[in-house]
Structure 1
């Protein structure tokens, strides 16, 4: 039995499993969806909310999102069978939002009521008052500029932000002034899912495509799975990459390919593209394999979009390889990333990947189809190089390019800047925009630490990273080089634009 780190992870798994089971048995109806909360939350005693009725209402909203409907508190009447370009992937489940009563700045007991009153002098809005020997902030007047905090010599002013708002890299997560609920500005959202991971109430979730995948697997449709390198370490030390492959095939997939194979090909193509750009006089180039990073540049720094590599991501490269061999095969990408769902829907990339699932959704499929991964056969998985598999963590792409340049004896100044997480990406891109980047290549990963810390993972990177590094090093039996892999992909379009 899989050990969940939090109750929220377990609850999401239970909802996804119920939805997948209904889809598998061709019994997914409005009535069956509305029964899910009673299957999961039994009895009349509330565990986490004010009452069992609210808990069931929240589970229903989760079930609707998992089944492909909008979780908006209305009737189940707006179907989302597919995800189209520019569709929103991340949604706030309004019933679950705690409307955190948090003021960004507040005076702590460390206030000494000093004579200088520097906090008052720094405030341009008259929000600082004094009573009972200490300062107070009038929250109705406070504009949350932070000047008082910077001015206080005692560090007596605390800064607290909502977890969801704090981690959003673009400011897309905002607060509704009328009821203090979280809301997402879709025009700024990059669908990275950081807010979903951060919310301790599970009030934010991603739209799922588990229903069409489960339905088609049950009906025996011809489907092939592509799995991201970050999957190693997600199921613990006892479950190898080979067992995961066997379990995926038992679901009904004809085969499972490593996205790391596409990563090997991307390494060659992107390295050569980088050399061409530098010879043409470009000051820098960025990677294009992280859709959250790509969306970030498009929405916050559109002037720099031409600096993004024109090479497709490993997911698209591998999918196009499968479609090249058999156009009738439907391709399902399985990874840790919610933003991959939006990447697959891009008009310029459509036709390569049919569906995208997260590792959370994969685990739910295993349960719905009653597959015990630990007891599956340990198949040999050695199609990709260790460098291709390294794409799953921060610095992996950079290491792959460095290895290729070194192995080919290419003469080029490759000076990478590795940035993972919203703050590092913002700093790197800002420096690049003003011409002060300390390098000529930006490896941008929207999740801190890379894909192993994606929003759709099962465990934290602190648990998975050691297994990820060890397993990838041991599992690559034969010496696969990027040059060997690029020959297999001859004739495959590797251009993103």
Structure 2
């Protein structure tokens, strides 16, 4: 993050214009952080990672700046390996060996880890476990700076529900909104608002699909790790998963339909969201993805003191939409709407909530064996605790969960069904009653994957 901060400062101040400036930055980082000459390839590669580019080892800087200037998106893979770093690791039981949760094995071979990107779920566990910086996720802020400074480009910040408390207990969402505007964003929107819309959609689908005791439903709309785990490894169970997009994608699709020629940046604690934004059928929905850790460094290096800012507060989402951030939030939210749609329903929504890839695999294995189950709605979250336990959070899971619950309770809107902001948006698509959400072709297209 410190190297990223130096890159941000130099680019923001217009002091990164050619190869000479990049080499000067390497020299500055080396001296400021007590690196040695042998560490220069490491510094160069982390400068490239900070610019959203692939590492190249000790190769001279060439066209990196022109790529960034002309870049409209960051290319895959999201998680990259920095060569040479593992030579300095003398830990025989290196954490990266077992860090990957049962899916894409990252293991020691020769001079470093091998990443099997065809299996990788981009959960980011390996990145956070490596103390040496041998594994890193590309950062998408540098190409975004040019858009933020362009008076003709409108950029919105779409923040995940888990953002509350990430920048200090006493920092309000209104102060964070003000900080985004200082950076050049037009405004900040709560992605929880679009979680409310998807909750209503999933509630209608549950009512439609779960009609008998043997029926069950796998929610798809929140976690890309959970979604891809099912899609790649459990094709039969995937048939029980609706084609709903995530709240992240929904936020951008609706905003871009309502406001033409804009950019939308999603901010969350999740590395997997960077990969989700690059899926072929979702590409161009979200323009850039930043993490809370990256945003904290941006605020610090650009001297944006959140405590000193005025609070520009707006109440956009319901309690149900805001608690999507923690385990059980999706289930709770969908259940409140199902109960409103069919209060006398014989087949009640009985949720099974699991978090962490190990638990997700266990529940999917159980379903695959067709054992007797006592639930009909399955919510899976790839990170322990849900999104609040993501790899790029700034605070611990317990504290984050507590703050998310409190922020949800602060909302004047209890359930998605009661959210007037939802109807305000849907009316712009010709929807007059909430029941029409699944019948409107334009809205259905916005809320579904191809």
TM-score of the superposition, structure 1-length normalised? Answer: 0.78
1:466 aligns with 2:399: no
Partner of 2:54: helix, strand, or coil? coil
Contact 1:230 1:451 in 2 (8 A): yes
Aligned residue pair count: 420
Kept in 2, the 8 Å contact 1:224–1:256? The answer is yes
After superposition, where does 1:420-459 map in structure 2 within 5 Å?
420-436=355-371, 437-459=373-395
Identify the residue that residue 46 of structure 2 maps to in structure 1. 62
Paired with 2:305 and 2:325, the residues of 1 have a C-alpha distance of 25
Partners of 1:208 and 1:231 in 2: how far apart? Answer: 18
Residue of structure 2 in register with 1:94 after alignment: 83
CA distance in 2, matches of 1:469, 1:202: 34
Q: Does 1:169 align with 2:107?
A: no
Q: What are the residue-to-residue correspondences of 1:363-402 with 2, within 5 Å?
A: 363-402=296-335
Which of 126, 131, 154 is matched with 1:195 structurally? Answer: 126
Shift in alpha-carbon separation, 1:84–1:441, aligned structure 2, 3 A: farther
**Distance of aligned partners of 1:283 and 1:469 in 2 relative to their CA distance in 1, 3 Å threshold:** closer
Once the 2 structures are TM-superposed, how far is the Cα of residue 308 of structure 1 from its aligned partner? 2.1
Distance 1:459 1:293 in 2: 23
Q: Deviations over 1:92-150 (max 9, x none)?
A: 222333675666xxxxxxxxxxxxxxxxxxxxxxxxxxxxxxxxxxxxxxxxxxxxxxx
Post-superposition offset of 1:309: 2.4
Consecutive unaligned residues in structure 2, runs of 5 or more? 430-442
State whether residues 357 and 382 of structure 2, in contact with CA within 8 Å, keep that contact through their aligned partners in structure 1: yes
SS at match of 2:252: helix
Question: Equivalents in 2 of 1:36, 1:357: separation in Å?
Answer: 23
* Runs of 5+ unmatched residues, structure 1: 1-11, 47-51, 104-160
Within 2, Cα distance between the matches of 1:25 and 1:302?
Answer: 50
CA RMSD of aligned residues (A): 2.5
Task: Identify the range of structure 1 (194-203 vs 182-191) with the bigger mean alpha-carbon deviation.
Answer: 194-203
Match runs of 1:154-233 below 5 Å: 162-179=94-111, 181-220=112-151, 221-233=153-165
Q: Is the 8 A contact 1:19 1:28 kept in 2?
A: no
Q: Does 1:494 align with 2:447?
A: yes
Partners of 1:469 and 1:96 in 2: how far apart? 41
| 2:291 is equivalent to residue 291 of structure 1 | no
The answer on 1:343 being equivalent to 2:296 is no
Structure 2 counterpart of 1:270: 202
User: For the residues of structure 2 that align with 1:339 and 1:403, how far apart are their CA atoms?
Assistant: 28
What per-residue deviation string (whole Å, max 9, x for no partner) do you get for residues 259-284 of structure 1? 00011111100111122221387443
Aligned to 1:16: 4
Counterpart CA distance in 2 for 1:480 and 1:279 is 24
Given that 1:171 and 1:188 are in contact with CA atoms closer than 8 Å, whether structure 2 keeps it comes out as: yes
Q: Matches of residues 277-316 of structure 1 in structure 2 within 5 Å?
A: 277-279=209-211, 282-316=215-249
Partner SS for 2:119: coil
The answer to whether the 8 Å contact 2:198/2:221 transfers is: no
Check 1:377–1:35 CA distance in 2 against 1; reply closer, same or farther (3 A cut). same
| Bigger fraction of residues in helix | 2
Structure 2 counterpart SS, 1:182: strand
Q: Secondary structure at the match of 1:185?
A: coil
1:53 to 16, 24, 37: 37
Q: Name the counterpart of 1:240.
A: 172
Q: Deviations over 1:59-94 (max 9, x none)?
A: 322111111221231534575735578x21111222
Distance 1:67 1:307, change over 3 A: same
1:251-262 counterparts in 2 under 5 A?
251-262=183-194
Residues 37 and 57, structure 1, Cα contact 8 Å, conserved in 2: no
TM-superposed CA distance for 1:176, in Å, is: 4.1
Closer/same/farther in 2, CA of residues 447 and 43 from structure 1, 3 Å limit: closer
Shift of 1:56: 4.3
Indicate whether 1:71 and 2:6 are aligned.
no
Q: TM-score, normalised by structure 2?
A: 0.86
Contact 2:245 2:448 in 1 (8 A): yes
Q: Which has the larger radius of gyration?
A: 1
Following the alignment from structure 2 to structure 1, what is the Cα–Cα distance between the partners of residues 189 and 325?
A: 15
SS in 2 for 1:191: coil
Deviates more, 1:478-487 or 1:403-412: 478-487
- Residues 456 and 45 (structure 1), Cα distance of their counterparts in 2 relative to 1, 3 Å cut: closer
Distance 1:193 1:467 in 2: 23
Shift of 1:415: 1.8
* Equivalent residue number for residue 437 of structure 2: none
User: 1:6 maps to what in 2?
Assistant: none
Q: How has the CA–CA distance of structure 1 residues 73 and 250 changed in structure 2, closer, same or farther, with 3 Å as cutoff?
A: same
